[in-house]
Amino acid sequence: MRNKGAFKNRVRAWARKVGVDVQTISIRRMTTKWASYTKNSQLIIFDSELLTMDKGLSDYIIVHELLHGVAPNHGKLWKVLLSGYVPDWELMDKRLRQRVAGK
């Protein structure tokens, strides 16, 4: 299992790049989502499984969730921003779906 402190540092670094405020980063077992971001409380929660994923895939999930602090849905703005930070995000999304299907 990857170091939680190192993972949280990556989240903070991405939050600075994306321009989103995060006060609390929580890592716990989640059953239906990879992550959740609450803009009002500046809380972001990640599934503990991200600690075992490769860096590229977990970074995609980090950025994906943080961008909801800028664009609340998966519309055009969100996709343009995501493409700027994670150009191969569609491949990453496909890999995630395959991972879920393989469970």
Residue for token pair 């921003």: 81
Q: What is the predicted pLDDT for the residue at 80? A: 96
Q: What is the pLDDT at residue 64? A: 96
Domain that holds residue 91: 4-101
Number of domains in the chain: 1
> What pLDDT score does 28 carry?
94
Q: Whose CA is closest to 83, among 65, 57, 60, 55?
A: 60
Contact partners, residue 92, CB within 8 Å, separation at least 6: 56, 57, 60, 86
Q: Which two tokens stand for residue 100?
A: 């879920």
Give the phi and the psi of residue 38 in degrees, each rounded to 5. Answer: -115, 105
Q: Is the pLDDT confidence value at 31 over 90?
A: no
Q: Is the pLDDT of residue 87 over 60?
A: yes
User: Which phi and psi (to 5°) does residue 71 adopt?
Assistant: -130, 110
**What's the CATH number where 74 sits?**
3.30.2010.10
Backbone angles phi, psi at 82, to 5 degrees: -60, -40
Sequence-separated (6 or more) residues with CB below 8 Å from residue 16:
none
For residues 64-82, give the mean pLDDT. Answer: 94
Region 75-82: mean pLDDT is: 95
| Farthest CA pair distance, the chain | 35
| 37 or 41, greater pLDDT | 37
* pLDDT computed for residue 22 by the predictor: 93
